[in-house]
Structure 1
Amino acid sequence: MPRFQRKIIYQALLCGLFAGSAGGALAQDAPVTDEDATVTYPASFFMQFEPFSVNDMLDRIPGINIARQGGGGGGPGFSGGNNRRGLGMGGDQVLINGRRIAGKENEGSSQLTRIPASQVDYIEIIRGTSGDLDVRGGNQVINIVLLEAETRSSIAYEVNTDHYHDDSLKPGGKIAWSGSRSGFDYLVSAESEPRYEHRIGHETSILGDGSPNERIKRVSTRKAQPMVISSNLAWQVGDADLFHLNLQYEDDSAPEEARRDILDTRYDPPLVDLELDVLDETEGFWEVGGDYEHIFSGGQRWKTLFIVNRADSESLRDRYLLEVNGDGRTQDLNLDFANTYQERILRTGYTFDFPGSGNQSLEVGIERAQTILDSNLQLDLLLSGGTTLTPISFSDARVEEIRYESFAVHNWQINDRMTLESTLIFEQSEISQSGDVSKSRDFEFLRPKIDYRFDITPALQFRATIEKDVAQLSFSDFTENTSEADDDQDSIAGNPDLRQEQSWRYDLNLEYRFDEDNGVLNTNIFYHELIDVIDKVDVSTPTQILSANGNIGDGERYGIALDGSYRFASLAESQILLTSGLQVEDSNVIDPFLGIGRRFSRQGRGSARIGFRQDFPARNFNYGFSWNHNFRDGRIAYDIDKIEDYNSGDFVRLFAETQGWGELIYRFEVFNPFENARCRVRSRYLGGTIATGYVSEIEDSCSHTGPTIAIKIRGTI
């Protein structure tokens, strides 16, 4: 039986196990499902688990992955995610006290590890639609409701140490101060976490005729430890006015060294070359966001928010040829790439109920977003016979977009069990480019969406959505930039003629929740029609074969996603939460070089995951694991002169946690214990493109970072 079929059978067996399992969670303080299909978990429900933060509380909720995944289905043509420009109507599906945090980096999901569990009153999983929600488009919305008290305050802290497979020890820590005083809520936090990486890789290459070519050992060490300082402030003025101010600052420096030992096996004895890359990457980021909301006496709401942010980054790469039998070295490459990214957003909206109707509401508003990218790249090479570096290319560019988004959202509670939310967005934008290329273009898009939900029973919900989406362009694709994936490629060409990737997205969703919310089974079927798919196109010059990101035509993506989770009956004074997921998908687009139908680049055929957690409340102890698997042999990337086939091993995380001395929480984690490898087979072509040339070299490489062991100590004051 093929492995692919076995995986589907395993998933079906898991779902059957969930469905046939009798029993439930502890009855006391059980979650409640309202008539509008909102599931409420009181703070008392989580007390048995002694959670440290909101994130720990969410980990105990069956089906929470469905809410955390947000809406829109992701994939090509999707306008959401952290890299979206502007704010939009979707975005983060986490609310704090029913309100969206005005921020791009500093948004609701980033607060989950910062808010102490002791500050939470209850948690809602909102499965329906409503005109009162600050976000739209998600399958489900998580609402964290904090305690109401005249005065409350707490400090949560964590210290940790990570051990890496080269025996390096890297400390980290975070602290958060949160509370409330006379209508003023605050959360101030600071953290510095290690992002160290020691990667070991090997590559074997053969020539097109099958004869040996090279063997390469690559060892790289990246020393990153970003620091993040943030604050979220809220003022409640009477019953009608609410102000928020959100600040965030990040500083990151990531020096890296990569050494390559190259053995040229075309000769006997083989020739040895040694190369050293020295990289220095620095990045600074700040963001200020705020909003004001006024509730009128008739229940109408007016809300205005703003966001201003800026990111400055620079990457400097120096490559040296090392002496094999000495300490000398010769620099043969210098690559300096810097950019400044700025964003300014202003959004306002007005929400009101239809006169004489208690079941319909309308929100209208407009958003203006200005996005600016300033970038420059300088490449110097050591030419044959030279003794000093020679300037080869210099790129200087500025890309700016002014975008307006007018929107109207109609929410209709058809009856006690049906809702219909209709959205219409009109987007206008102007993208201008100056520097090496001077160009200006205007775009207009009409983006409708229909979201229908039917609560067949309080436990069984059907959802259907149809949406026109427009993905935001990546400004880095307009200008020449660096390549981190190919050591033999110094830079990547830009393309000033890019158009936005568009999609029509059709989704059907069926969700079943077990009694007392002990588990969730969810099925999602999706079909996406894409227009102007972005991938590599030919931008060659008379003297050089080049590619850049461009529009290659229309395509389609379709599949099914299954999610299941179940909290088993109390076993030996413990509770078990088992989760699983399976996604099977396919896609098709015509390759611009080969003229054949193929999958989207690196999209693959799907993935599977399993999670297990066992809690012993009486002993204040829990442990578990998570396993993630990507189906093999499907993630292929096509370029003008190379084809790359990517595969990776299964990623596993183990954890154990207990409450001990000083009422502190001690957590032990192991990441990647089985040294999950990241592999790639790259076929290079000469004498033309992948359609007209010939295979000159085939590179087979794998690398891994080894296991990481982390010890964390957490406490609350």
Structure 2
Amino acid sequence: MNKTIVAAFLVTTALGGWPLSAFPAEEPLADSAIVIYDKAYFETFSPVTLLDMLKAVPGVPEILSANEEQIRQAQRTGGAAQRGFGSGGDQILMDGKRLAGKANNISDTLTRISATQVDHIELIRGASSGLDVQSQGLVINIIMAENSSTSTTFWQVRGEYTEYNKFYPEFLVSHSGSMDRFDYTLSYERKNKDNHVDIDEDFFDPQDNYKALQIVKSGTRNYAHSFNTNLAYEFEDGGRLRLNGLYVPGGQDGLETRDKTSDTVRPLAWLTTRDSDKWEVGGDYARPLGVFGNLKSLFVINRNAEDYLVDRFKGNGTEKYEYTKDDTSLDQREKIFRGSISKDIAKGQNLEVGGEAAFNKFNKTFDSFTRSTSVSNYIVSTSDNVKIKENRYEVFAIHSFNISPELVLQSSLTTEFSKIVADNILIGGAIDRRDTSFTYLKPRFNLRYDVTPLDQVRLLVEKKVSQLDFNNFVTRFDQMEQIFKPGNTKIRPEQTWDFSFTYEHRLPDDGGSLEAELFYRKYTDHISTVDFTNYVDFNHNPITADEFFALPPDTALRDYVGDTGEGYSAKQGNIPKARSYGAKIKSNLRLGFVGLPNATISVNYTIEKRKTTDQFTGLERRFDRLPDQTWAVNFRHDIPDYQFTYGLELTSRSDYERFYINYYWPNSPAASYKVFAEKTVFNDYKIRLEAEGLRHSRGTSTVFYYYDHIRFDDLYERKVQHWKRLTQLRFSIQGTF
């Protein structure tokens, strides 16, 4: 399928004004940037949960997917998760407010709320005052039904089967109720997620002679019990208090085997065990203050503790012995307090001022032990112990100015103060301390202009400052690359200036929309892998990398650098500057013009050229691990007469590379397909089937390994990887009573 042709066809169709048969949504005349989907709209789709309702709104599934990917990324990186709240965050709100939780996130909440508890859903395009977050383009605001004495229990049973592996069941039960001014939700969920990676690897020497075949098989199961509660009470004075809690004990079991034909003792087997314990409490309180405006406040307190053990074995049968083991321990804690007061200061103008404080602790240890034979004693090969305290404060002011019914300007200024104390506790008890303070001004200007009720233009200028990934402070073993990656406690936050221009056109009668965005980003202190080698000249005086590689080749000097200190070493660090620019096209369309009035298709395309200077070769290159282009296609067809829905999700990325001090790793990922079908039975129950991994391929990649440093251009080995993907089948049945 030629994605460019498909995208061009959809754009042409949208702009050409084909006759459409659509489901008109209510559209308030006062603000054409807000589209309301009421209960009558959703009757056609027979939703059971709030998530079912959102999936039936054009353009929303893409936001849900992006939100879930952010959550997965935070779970994978741990220390890279967003600390504090800030003015950004989830673009999904409930009654205009964000959920006061981090681990207890909005995506999980959507599955626990019955469709009967929802009054209507608002889609807000562009800048708008009175919301808990600043718009990134489209904000979903869910308005809940008020003060109804009801009680609903939602349940779901689901499971996943991966080809050639076991079937793992999961289930969820959630009870929600309302009594006058009090709302509550209690839920329990049993989670079982497995992940499988199969790779065939072919090895070649520098002369391109075949050396060996290695077969890698990896399987990991993540399991957890999740206990959750949400409470809300509305006071007679207009105040509203919401509290929520989460407790998630869980763990992980994994086995990876590597069988290489050239190994004397084979295979290698790596066993992983992880125990985790996570809890969180949070809440928010809002109330009117009369002439002083409106008060909004929230807090979150959480903790995450993990113990991660990896045991590695060689051989089979009587030859099998453990040759190395890694032990990682993590204790992560956070406290967040945020408050603000907003007030109308003039006709069409609103000012919100407030502050936020976030206190974080991140303690992580990594110890690796190794031995050469089954009767040898273990010796410590690597040990790292880091204790981090971070105090972050923000003072902010947000000004919303409705210049006219068509023109809205939202501007804000946030001042961020942070102090990080990172103690690297060395063997023997000595402490290498980094005590650093940062202060940043972060202005933001967001202009929305409704050219017509169906056409909108948005301009955005924003200064962003990243949060440091504390995992980069600690040494770790990269299991995929099979190397130790040292920690660096001296990284600085990455700063970005974002500039974007967006045009959006909506078709009449909620028939779809087309959005095009142009953007440019300027980076300072871009975070990437940096050369930390201590280079010297022939007299062993310190010199730069460029000066070292300009010297006449000398094996003795090369070996001296490799054998002294940390040798040829790379860590996460800062590159002074980088840039990126590109465009995004988003389109969704109802297919009434081809006789499918209940079908929608969304096509999203992004092209982003990212440029920085490689710290090992000195050449300009793309960003590490990030493709230039991504495609996403979502198709959904509802057949109301049969209460049946089916659809397709497709995602694809262009080639990308990984860069390191001693390798170059280009990747060609395969497209990912997911098909699904769901049927509502007896009005209150829904059965869903999903299939993924139907192509049995994740793509291919080639790794070029070099002796010591890639700049010597001394190739050691070439490895060609064929990444396989097993077919996954998912089943679920859910209902309410």
TM over 0.5: yes
| Cα 1:327/1:118, change in 2 over 3 Å | farther
- 2:728 aligned residue: 708
- Deviations, residues 630-675 of structure 1 (Å, cap 9, x unaligned): 11x3x11111111111222111111111123584211111112222
Code of the aligned partner of 2:217: V
Cα deviation, residue 67, structure 1? 5.1
Code of the aligned partner of 2:322: Q
Answering whether residue 350 of structure 2 is matched by residue 367 of structure 1, we say: no
Cα deviation, residue 485, structure 1? 2.5
- 1:316 aligned residue: 309
- 1:286 aligned residue: 279
647, 653, 665: which one aligns with 2:686: 665
Counterpart CA distance in 1 for 2:6 and 2:644 is: 29
Q: Cα RMSD over matched residues?
A: 2.4
16, 40, 52: which one aligns with 2:36: 40
- 3-state DSSP class of the match of 2:223? coil
Counterpart CA distance in 2 for 1:46 and 1:492 is: 51
Code of the aligned partner of 1:24: L
* 1:422-433 → structure 2 map (5 Å cutoff): 422-433=411-422
- Deviations, residues 586-605 of structure 1 (Å, cap 9, x unaligned): 11101111111111111111
- 1:636 aligned residue: 657
- Deviations, residues 38-71 of structure 1 (Å, cap 9, x unaligned): 0000011011110121221111212225655889
- 3-state DSSP class of the match of 2:266? strand
- Deviations, residues 165-187 of structure 1 (Å, cap 9, x unaligned): 01411111112212211111112
Contact 1:191-1:228 at 8 Å conserved across structures: yes
* 1:663-702 → structure 2 map (5 Å cutoff): 663-686=684-707, 688-702=708-722
Counterpart CA distance in 2 for 1:295 and 1:181 is: 23
Cα deviation, residue 432, structure 1? 0.5
Counterpart CA distance in 2 for 1:613 and 1:81 is: 36
Contact 2:54-2:61 at 8 Å conserved across structures: no
- 2:540 aligned residue: none
- 1:645 aligned residue: 666
Answering whether residue 447 of structure 2 is matched by residue 447 of structure 1, we say: no
Contact 2:79-2:470 at 8 Å conserved across structures: no
Moved more, 104-113 or 120-129: 104-113
Contact 2:80-2:471 at 8 Å conserved across structures: no
- Deviations, residues 365-410 of structure 1 (Å, cap 9, x unaligned): 1111111110111111114796222122222110111111110111
| Cα 1:712/1:466, change in 2 over 3 Å | same
Moved more, 170-179 or 292-301: 292-301
Moved more, 507-516 or 677-686: 677-686
Contact 1:23-1:568 at 8 Å conserved across structures: no
Code of the aligned partner of 1:403: R
- 3-state DSSP class of the match of 2:9? helix
- Deviations, residues 453-478 of structure 1 (Å, cap 9, x unaligned): 00011111100000111000011111
Code of the aligned partner of 2:400: N
* 1:524-543 → structure 2 map (5 Å cutoff): 524-540=517-533, 542-543=564-565
Cα deviation, residue 134, structure 1? 1.1
Answering whether residue 538 of structure 2 is matched by residue 515 of structure 1, we say: no
| Cα 1:377/1:485, change in 2 over 3 Å | same
Answering whether residue 589 of structure 2 is matched by residue 566 of structure 1, we say: yes
Q: TM-score, normalised by structure 2?
A: 0.90
Contact 1:504-1:528 at 8 Å conserved across structures: yes
Counterpart CA distance in 1 for 2:236 and 2:220 is: 51
Answering whether residue 58 of structure 2 is matched by residue 62 of structure 1, we say: yes
- 2:324 aligned residue: 333
390, 395, 400: which one aligns with 2:384: 395
610, 635, 642: which one aligns with 1:619: 642
Counterpart CA distance in 2 for 1:68 and 1:393 is: 41
Cα deviation, residue 152, structure 1? 1.4
Counterpart CA distance in 1 for 2:596 and 2:134 is: 41
- 2:549 aligned residue: none
- 3-state DSSP class of the match of 1:552? strand
Structure (1/2) with the larger helix percentage:
2
What is the percentage of aligned positions where both structures have the same residue?
27
Q: How many residues align?
A: 694
* 1:579-598 → structure 2 map (5 Å cutoff): 579-598=602-621
Code of the aligned partner of 1:288: V
Counterpart CA distance in 1 for 2:487 and 2:29 is: 53
Counterpart CA distance in 1 for 2:340 and 2:527 is: 33
Segments of 5+ residues of structure 1 without an aligned counterpart are 265-269
Counterpart CA distance in 2 for 1:590 and 1:46 is: 51
- 3-state DSSP class of the match of 1:104? coil
Contact 1:199-1:220 at 8 Å conserved across structures: yes
Cα deviation, residue 188, structure 1? 2.0
Counterpart CA distance in 1 for 2:577 and 2:307 is: 35
* 1:78-227 → structure 2 map (5 Å cutoff): 83-227=81-225
- 2:496 aligned residue: 503
- 2:628 aligned residue: 605
Contact 2:413-2:443 at 8 Å conserved across structures: yes
- Deviations, residues 436-469 of structure 1 (Å, cap 9, x unaligned): 3212011111111100000011111100000111
Cα deviation, residue 571, structure 1? 6.9
- 3-state DSSP class of the match of 2:291? coil
